[in-house]
């Protein structure tokens, strides 16, 4: 991969070629650091809109801050106790991946800087109290010279009362050789154990069409869901949908790259079949993302097109699919704050925009109350402030 940046007289940066998930231009080179502020219920200037709604009709959603004070929040899910569990990527670490004799992520994405601890899983009560379940999980950051994003805990899921998480910040190529990328089981006391080593499996089961220019040897898992007691993981960099049993067996459901190429599949929801949305390589091209429908046998077909930078999917009880788009404006070659939105796809295929003005959202789940919860400010410059969870109240 070749990446070039051009500065204009006003200090703006133009990225002429960009293919890595979540890397930024130089003007937002510094990402989130931990913040002492823990909670906030203040309103922000989010927008709700629906082009099909006439003036005076009920708006489809209202957006408010549910919690503020997170470190690069990503995937999230409500547990059986009614509390919200959030995966957080952390801030990266002090150890360069070049110190170890393993395959590196190509420059300029690599080298990574990692630490075996620092990423965490938080639990947030309905009353807005956050508890750290564990912060003893690996975190890493891509090349900071060009504004590398942090990787850490990517997503969480429950099987019964047991919490599982998928790690994206580990592995030798991320500067953490002692802790591979993996699916883990998290105990109530915060200790954890390995269920399945994804770093090793990915390296021994290559996909048909890997992208050599930004290849991540340890992978960068992004989404995980529980289906009938088994865990399914989407890996964007290789382009894989993987099944992981709670006993540790790993099998490939489908090599998405074989039929789709390097489309960067990121978000996943299960609704009788797997529905998978993709980010698409940068620079951002409006309408270039889509949703694939993948049956349990691994057959892939397009289900919805004309979307942009998909990072979250969730169904409601009326069979409507909600799509989280990170940045939607065509003139933006890279993700920018304030340009995220949520689109609802009706059972008849119609698309309705229900919320706009989100800032770099990275994950979404449907709550037990029938409303959406979104990880906002999931990455980005410190000026954005700490990561948030937004509550998107659905009004129709």
Q: Note the pTM of the prediction, 2 decimals.
A: 0.88
pLDDT tens track for 374-391: 999 999 887 889 999 999
Q: What is the pLDDT along the chain (396 residues), one digit of tens a residue?
A: 333 222 222 222 222 223 444 444 333 322 222 233 333 333 344 554 443 433 334 468 999 999 999 999 999 999 999 999 999 999 999 999 999 999 999 999 999 999 999 999 999 999 999 999 999 999 999 987 766 889 999 999 999 999 999 999 999 999 999 999 999 999 999 999 999 999 999 999 999 999 999 999 999 999 999 999 999 999 999 999 999 999 999 999 999 999 999 999 999 999 999 999 999 998 899 999 999 999 999 999 999 999 999 999 999 999 999 999 999 987 778 899 999 999 999 999 999 999 999 999 999 999 999 999 999 999 988 788 999 999 999 988
The sign one gets for the Cα dihedral 262, 263, 265, 270 is: negative
Residue 5's pLDDT is: 26
Residue 59's pLDDT is: 62
Strand partners, 210: none
Q: Cα(143)–Cα(5) distance, rounded to whole angstroms?
A: 15
Residue 24's pLDDT is: 42
Q: Cα(175)–Cα(113) distance, rounded to whole angstroms?
A: 6
Q: What CATH number belongs to 5-37+66-319?
A: 2.120.10.30
* Structural tokens at position 378: 């999931």
Chain centroid to CA 78: 16
pLDDT tens track for 348-376: 999 999 999 999 999 999 999 999 999 99
Residue 144's pLDDT is: 74
Three-state SS at 303: strand
The domain segmentation of the chain, as residue ranges, is: 5-37+66-319
Strand partners, 27: none
Residue 166's pLDDT is: 98
Q: Cα(230)–Cα(213) distance, rounded to whole angstroms?
A: 33
DSSP state of 171: B
Q: Cα(365)–Cα(294) distance, rounded to whole angstroms?
A: 20
Q: Cα(135)–Cα(117) distance, rounded to whole angstroms?
A: 6
H or E segment to which residue 325 belongs: strand 321-325
Residue 131's pLDDT is: 98
Chain centroid to CA 280: 13
108-133: b or e for each residue (b if 16 or more CB lie within 10 Å)? bbbbbbbbbebbbbbbbeeebebeeb
Cα separation of the two ends of the chain: 45
56-95: b or e for each residue (b if 16 or more CB lie within 10 Å)? eeeebbbbebbbbbbbbbbbbbbbeeebbbbbbbbbbbeb
């Amino acid at each position: 991969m070749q990446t070039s940046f051009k500065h204009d007289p006003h200090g703006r940066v133009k990225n002429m070629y960009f293919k890595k998930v979540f890397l930024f231009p130089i003007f937002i080179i510094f990402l989130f650091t931990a913040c002492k502020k823990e909670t906030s219920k203040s309103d922000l200037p989010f927008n709700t809109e629906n082009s099909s709604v006439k003036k005076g009709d009920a708006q489809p959603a209202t957006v408010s801050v549910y919690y503020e004070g997170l470190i690069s929040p990503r995937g999230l899910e409500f547990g059986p106790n009614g509390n919200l569990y959030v995966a957080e990527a952390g801030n990266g670490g002090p150890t360069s991946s070049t110190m170890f004799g393993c395959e590196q992520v190509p420059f300029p994405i690599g080298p990574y800087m990692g630490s075996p601890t620092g990423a965490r899983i938080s639990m947030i009560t309905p009353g807005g109290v956050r508890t750290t379940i564990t912060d003893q999980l690996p975190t890493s950051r891509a090349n900071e010279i060009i504004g590398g994003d942090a990787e850490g805990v990517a997503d969480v899921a429950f099987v019964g009362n047991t919490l599982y998480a998928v790690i994206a910040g580990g592995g030798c190529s991320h500067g953490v050789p002692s802790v591979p990328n993996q699916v883990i089981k998290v105990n109530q006391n915060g200790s954890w154990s390995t269920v399945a080593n994804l770093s090793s499996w990915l390296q021994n089961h290559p996909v048909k069409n890997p992208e050599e220019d930004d290849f991540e040897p340890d992978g960068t898992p992004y989404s995980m869901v529980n289906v009938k007691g088994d865990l399914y993981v989407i890996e964007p960099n290789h382009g894989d949908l993987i099944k992981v049993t709670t006993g540790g067996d790993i099998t490939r459901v489908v090599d998405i790259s074989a039929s789709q190429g390097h489309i960067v599949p990121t978000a996943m929801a299960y609704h009788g079949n797997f529905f998978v949305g993709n980010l698409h390589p940068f620079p951002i091209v409006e309408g270039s993302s889509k949703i694939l429908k993948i049956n349990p046998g691994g057959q892939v077909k397009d289900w919805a097109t004309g979307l942009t930078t998909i990072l979250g999917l969730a169904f409601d009880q009326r069979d409507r699919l909600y799509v989280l788009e990170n940045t939607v404006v065509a003139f933006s070659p890279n993700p920018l704050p304030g340009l995220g939105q949520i689109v609802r796809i009706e059972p008849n295929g119609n698309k309705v925009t229900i919320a706009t003005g989100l800032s770099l959202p990275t994950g979404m789940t449907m709550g037990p109350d029938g409303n959406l919860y979104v990880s906002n400010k999931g990455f980005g410059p410190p000026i954005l402030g700490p990561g948030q969870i937004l509550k998107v109240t659905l009004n129709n």
